[in-house]
Amino acid sequence: NAVIHRADYRPPAFWIDSVELCFDLDPVKTRVLNRMRLRRNPDQPAQALRLDGEELNLARVLVNGQGTSFKLEDSQLILENLPEGNAPFELEVFTTCAPAKNTKLMGLYVSNDSFFTQCEAEGFRRITYFLDRPDVMASYNVTLRADKAAYPVLLSNGNLVEQGDLDGGRHFARWVDPHRKPCYLFALVAGKLVAREQRITTASGADHLLQVYVRPGDLDKTEHAMNSLMASIAWDEGRFKLPLDLERFMIVATSDFNMGAMENKGLNIFNTKYVLASQATATDTDYANIESVVGHEYFHNWTGNRVTCRDWFQLSLKEGLTVFRDQEFSQDLAGEASARAVRRIEDVRVLRTAQFPEDAGPMAHPVRPDQYLEINNFYTVTIYEKGAEVVRMMQTLVAGEGDPLGRAGFARGMALYFERHDGQAVTCDDFAQAIADANPGSPLARLLPQFKRWYSQAGTPRLKARSHWDAATGTYSLALSQSCTPTPGQPHKDPFVIPVRLGLLDAEGRQISDGLHVLTEDSDTLTMSGLAGEPVPSILRGFTAPVILEYDYTDAQLLILLAHDTDPFNRWEAAQRLAIHRALHFIRSGEHVELDAPFVEAMRAVLRHPTLDSAFKDLVLTLPSETYLAEQLDEVDPQRIHAVREAMRMGLATALRHDWEWVYEQNKDTGAYRPDSRSAGRRALAGMALTHLCLAARTSGDPVWPGKTLQRFKDAGNMTDRFNALAALVACGHELAAPALASFHALFKNEALVLDKWFALQAGAPDHGGNILPVVKQLMQHPDFNLRNPNRARSLIFSYCSANPGGFHRRDAAGYVFWCERVMELDAINPQVAARLARALDRWKKLADPYRGAAREAIARVAAKPDLSRDVREVVTRALA
């Protein structure tokens, strides 16, 4: 239970060159014969071999075919009497494990009568004794044996080299992976599965077989995943010249999975949520997520698999970079500039609502952490999303003549990275160095040591801007300064390198200038002269750095930006600021919420705008989330925030009623279903219109729009329209919601992913007088609820505790009591999932009383449980510190 420190990294004392694994698969007792070829690492002092192992039964250990002495200590198999010298030797370890009892879903486990593995980060040690660390890369030769009728499909990484029947109704398959890999990329799958297949020829002329494996009955839901895979392969070849390096590339879907998906070499294993889609069962958001997750896992084949991490502190080396790549992929596929901007805004929204709070809370850590207790707790939005922003800043900082966005410079850097490090396990420093070296003379190359503070310093920097206008000389100056509040273990921060894209608009909204400024000092002033009038600054265009921008925009300036800024990100941001100003005013003053005419008119102008995309309108009209509003306050009363936001929503619903009607009519028909960005945007806006029309009907008592919404729910030709209609009825608490929910359940009772939506919708619904918790408790008794299935647990428990602040933060503390009980209950089943739930109260110190005291008590109750997992213990201990 010791803390692991980055500074303690040492290369391994032994290398494992090759591994021969033979599995006799049985849910109750699987036998694993592991034959390894090892040699001492000549660069390390002579020492014992310590192999990691967890929940294994050890039956036999042989060295070069002979019995040997060994010790079992602290989940390690220790061998002291190994051959001297640097010659390779063979180590054979025979163990058994119990996949059916594996509720942690790490290592080898059973889901729906099939076998799956999850080895990242430290799951391989639950399969066999091994040097379970990413810098030990070996060749794998894997034989799977199992009952043929129960497990007709036997898969592992690489190429199928042999298969056949065995006695007793059993069969076998032997797989050889042509690429050396760390053990976290090992995978096996065995079960009754069927595959959609596609043969492709890539640009180099090589032929490949692509397969998407699912349970029989789900094959008709795999077309989109296959299309996404083909698009990913083409994109990586086109943009980064990175080809598919395998004859066969497989995706397998399972409904029991701790995360989204896993990039095992040639055998990606996915949560069904990110594979299965049909227009009847999946929403536009599901389609978009599948595209991005399939892309993400495929892109790992180079960024993660061909070049991997030296140690887990370097996790963002592969995750931040691969998120950046999947974001770019989704933007490129979206096509037009406006659709790209919508993607960018959505990505920033995730960063600001999830990562900024993490960076300000007890679990704050640098993109390259210095220490951890449990690595599974560090698969965070900081490693992934902030890590992607750090990579994006590198691209921005290598821009040059003829390459205004830095794409060509960044691609050069990637090429050099692979030239230097293909087949190696490396660090974030190695990556940054390659990008900088490929772009000598760029700001990144000049500022590299300082730029790397983004890797070492936690916390979100604040960028303050103050302007001064001298009418007499026509001189405008903008003073920029930066600061960053202390985070756990880091009381002092040095200045960051902050790329700031800045535009200036005149009073009519015409652009005067646009350029990139790089802030490197604590403060700096930009001056422009010869101006005819005071300009409006458009600061941090495109969100060029993951910072909090503080500038006292007037409403008049924001209205100009919202109406005219050529940068769509800042156009959206202007609307957010207008809404935040108002929300914070009502929250702080306690005044009755009444929306002012300029705000309403600005929103109306957006809704009625003749050329703006529907998806963009949807984003502008979406008020900042309760979580984001809470981050703007020093002391948080969640009920007050909820009430104000709901009242503002109601204000927009009633004041713009005719506009919503018009918008609905304009957007309601999208023709034959296609999940492209344009029609998805129209469906989203039509859904938003329905929600507002139903809300408005709540005050007027008018039955027309709830009735129309119910009809749309019944007639819908796709899940997006059907679900949006259902959500509109639920959001306004209309009496038609209950029968609609019942009919939705009846229609989709055999579709697990749709039932997840059904649970999530009810648990995440706006709270009216504390009505949600009783609903959640009742739903826990529903025959379709199962705490052991992570998707189902997330759909009900997480939707309530982590995504419904108005329902969760109750003055009577019942939400916290519920949270505490579920964390402890889940911890006994699946600590990784429990630890994620434990994070729902990360920001408890910001709460006003009585919430604060009650939240502390609930966390302390969890912390006091004696047999807590390391995962949950780390989260609650940090929260209480």
Q: Which residues are identified as catalytic?
A: 297
Q: How far apart are CA 759 and CA 803, in angstroms?
A: 13
107 neighbors 123 (Cβ within 8 angstroms): yes
Tell the smallest beta-carbon distance from residue 302 to ligand HT7 (Å): 13
823-852 residues in contact with ligand HT7 (CB under 6 A) are 832
Whichever of 322 and 795 has its CB closer to Zn ion, that residue is 322
Rounded Cα distance, 548 and 496, in Å: 13
Helix or strand run (H / E) with residue 440: none
Residue pair 266/246 in contact by the 8 Å Cβ criterion: yes
Q: Does 659 bind ligand HT7 (CB under 6 A)?
A: no
Question: Where in 320-339 is the site for Zn ion (CB under 5 A)?
Answer: 322
Q: Which is nearer to Zn ion, 319 or 328 (CB)?
A: 319
118 binds ligand HT7 per the rule CB under 6 A: yes
CB of 381 to Zn ion, least distance (A): 13
Least separation in angstroms between CB 122 and ligand HT7: 9
Q: Of 297 and 631, which has the nearer Cβ to Zn ion?
A: 297
Nearer to Zn ion, 712 or 836 (CB): 836
Number of Cα atoms under 13 Å in the Cβ half of residue 578: 28
Between 389 and 631, name the residue whose CB sits nearer to ligand HT7: 389
309 binds ligand HT7 (CB under 6 A): no
Q: How far apart are alpha carbons 555 and 346 in whole angstroms?
A: 24
Give the one residue of 120, 132, 291, 374 binding ligand HT7; rule: CB under 6 A.
120
Tokens of 96: 């058994």
For residue 238, what are the contacts with CB-CB under 8 A and spacing of at least 6? Answer: none
Binding mask 264-303 for Zn ion (x = CB under 5 A): ----------------------------------------
- Give bridge partners of residue 22 from the DSSP assignment: 33, 143
User: Contacts with Zn ion: how many residues (CB under 5 A)?
Assistant: 2
Of ligand HT7, Zn ion, none, which one does residue 258 interact with (CB within 5 to 8 Å by kind)? ligand HT7
Cβ nearer to Zn ion, comparing 322 with 799 = 322
Which residue's CB is nearer to ligand HT7, number 184 or number 496? Answer: 184
Q: Verify binding: residue 122, ligand HT7, rule CB under 6 A.
A: no
Partner whose footprint covers residue 544, from Zn ion, ligand HT7, none (CB < 5 to 8 Å by kind): none
The smaller minimum CB distance to ligand HT7, of residues 299 and 476, is found at 299
Between 262 and 740, CB nearer to ligand HT7: 262
Please give the Cα distance from 506 to 465 (Å, whole number). Answer: 18
Residue span binding Zn ion (CB under 5 A) among the ranges 130-138, 311-319, 373-381, 412-420: 311-319
SS3 474: coil
For residues 762 to 791, the per-residue mask of contacts with Zn ion, x marking binding by CB under 5 A and - elsewhere, is ------------------------------
Binding segment for ligand HT7 among 114-122, 140-148, 172-180, 478-486 (CB under 6 A)?
A: 114-122
Is 277:221 a contact under the CB 8 Å cutoff? yes
Q: Which residue has the tokens 């995943």?
A: 225
425 binds ligand HT7 (CB under 6 A): no
Nearest CA-CA partner of 161 in 148, 145, 173? 173
Cα dihedral across residues 769, 835, 354, 372: positive or negative: positive
The DSSP H or E segment spanning 135 is: none
**Which of Zn ion, ligand HT7, none interacts with 354 (beta carbon under 5 to 8 A by kind)?**
none
- Distance CA(694)–CA(708), nearest Å, equals 9
319 binds ligand HT7, rule: CB under 6 A: yes
Residue 270 C-beta: closest distance to ligand HT7, Å: 10
Distances (CA, A) of 486 to 365, 458, 492: 11, 8, 6
**Unique residue bearing structure tokens 């890590």:** 387
Site for Zn ion, residues 220 to 239, rule: CB under 5 A: none
Binding residue for ligand HT7 (CB under 6 A) from 77, 138, 225, 262? 262
| Partner interacting with residue 722 (select from Zn ion, ligand HT7, none; CB below 5-8 Å by kind) | none
Stretch near Zn ion under the rule CB under 5 A, chosen from 317-325, 584-592, 636-644, 663-671: 317-325
Residue whose CB is nearest to ligand HT7 in the complex, by number: 259
What is the rounded distance in angstroms from the CA atom of residue 807 to the CA atom of residue 796? 13
By rule CB under 6 A, what count of residues binds ligand HT7? 15
* Residue 121 sits in the site that holds ligand HT7 (CB under 6 A): yes
Here the tokens at position 700 are 């007027």
Residue (390 or 539) nearer to ligand HT7, CB: 390
The CA dihedral of 493, 496, 501, 507, to the nearest 10 degrees, is 30
Q: Closest separation between CB of residue 1 and ligand HT7, Å?
A: 19
Structure tokens at 481: 């300064």
Give the C-alpha separation, 224 to 290, whole Å: 8
CB 832 → ligand HT7: shortest distance, Å? 6
Contacted by 376, from ligand HT7, Zn ion, none: CB < 5 to 8 Å by type = ligand HT7
What single letter denotes the amino acid at residue 510? R
**Residue 121 interacts with, from Zn ion, ligand HT7, none (CB under 5-8 Å by kind):** ligand HT7
Sign of CA dihedral 61, 63, 68, 71: negative
Distances (CA, A) of 228 to 297, 378, 401, 559, 855: 11, 28, 34, 39, 43
Q: 117 vs 570, which CB is nearer to ligand HT7?
A: 117
What is the rounded distance in angstroms from the CA atom of residue 375 to the CA atom of residue 871?
Answer: 8
Stretch that binds ligand HT7, among 118-126, 530-538, 602-610, 726-734 (CB under 6 A): 118-126
Q: Does 297 bind ligand HT7 (CB under 6 A)?
A: yes
DSSP strand pairing (475-483 vs 462-470)? antiparallel
Binding-site member from 102, 355, 376, 460 for ligand HT7 (CB under 6 A): 376
Query: Which residues, 6 or more positions from 524, have their beta carbon under 8 angstroms from its beta carbon?
Result: 479, 480, 481, 517
Cis preceding linkage at 121, omega within 30: yes
For residue 518, list its beta bridge partners: 499
Tell me how many degrees the CA angle 266-272-276 measures, rounded to the nearest 5: 95
Q: Which is nearer to ligand HT7, 118 or 677 (CB)?
A: 118
Each as own residue / partner, the long-range contacts of residues 606-611 (CB below 8 Å, 24 or more positions apart, any chain) are: 606/562, 606/575, 607/656, 607/659, 607/660, 607/662, 607/663, 608/659, 608/662
d(CA 220, CA 209): 19
Nearer to Zn ion, 316 or 667 (CB): 316
Torsion of CA 607, 611, 615, 619, to 10 degrees: -50
By the rule CB under 6 A, 117 interacts with ligand HT7: no
Interface with ligand HT7, residue 104, by CB under 6 A: no
Residue 781 and residue 787: Cα distance in Å, rounded?
11
Of 148, 140, 208, the C-alpha closest to 174 is: 140
Smallest gap from Cβ 750 to ligand HT7, in A, equals 26
Which residue stretch of 166-174, 258-266, 410-418, 513-521 sits at the interface with ligand HT7 (rule: CB under 6 A)? 258-266
Beta bridge partners of 266: none
As a whole number of angstroms, the distance between CA 787 and CA 785 comes to 7
Compute the least distance from the CB of residue 297 to ligand HT7, in Å. Answer: 5
> Residues 211, 254, 258, 395: which binds ligand HT7 (CB under 6 A)?
258
Give yes or no for residue 95 binding ligand HT7 (CB under 6 A). no
Q: Is 132 in the site for ligand HT7 (CB under 6 A)?
A: no
Binding span for ligand HT7 by CB under 6 A among 155-163, 211-219, 296-304, 385-393: 296-304
Q: Residues in the site for ligand HT7, rule: CB under 6 A?
A: 118, 120-121, 258-259, 261-263, 296-297, 300, 319, 376, 379, 832
Q: Residues in the site for Zn ion, rule: CB under 5 A?
A: 319, 322
